[in-house]
Structure 1
Amino acid sequence: MNKKKKSNKSGYPDEAIKTLARCFYPSMVEFFNSEEGQREYEKWLKEQEALNAAPIAA
């Protein structure tokens, strides 16, 4: 099968990005599973809904 490679336009090597992701991922999961993380996520969702509901100025 021909897999399509995702283009990395950041200028950083893919391996560096993957290494950082492996370092940050456990802390991110822990945060978003916490009560504080859940509150922050709910707040963000409400902000996104408000932004999407706002009319776009032409």
Structure 2
Amino acid sequence: MNKLIKTTNPYSGESAMLTPEEHKLYHRIKNLELAELYDEMQKALSKFSRLNPKAYMTLLD
């Protein structure tokens, strides 16, 4: 059984439950944003939006 991880949008305060894979990808996206690696960030955003569209809208859109 996969453990779900509660992840919160720092701007809206809304949360979503993510699988470990999605949680890792979420943090990769945030780190790429901090590093200003926007091309890689867009690829990761695209993957995240396909994996979990609802969480994408809550956390990253």
- Per the normalisation by structure 2, the TM-score is 0.31
Structure with bigger helix share is 1
Q: Which has the larger radius of gyration?
A: 1
Q: Which has the higher contact order (CA 8 A, sep 6+)?
A: 2
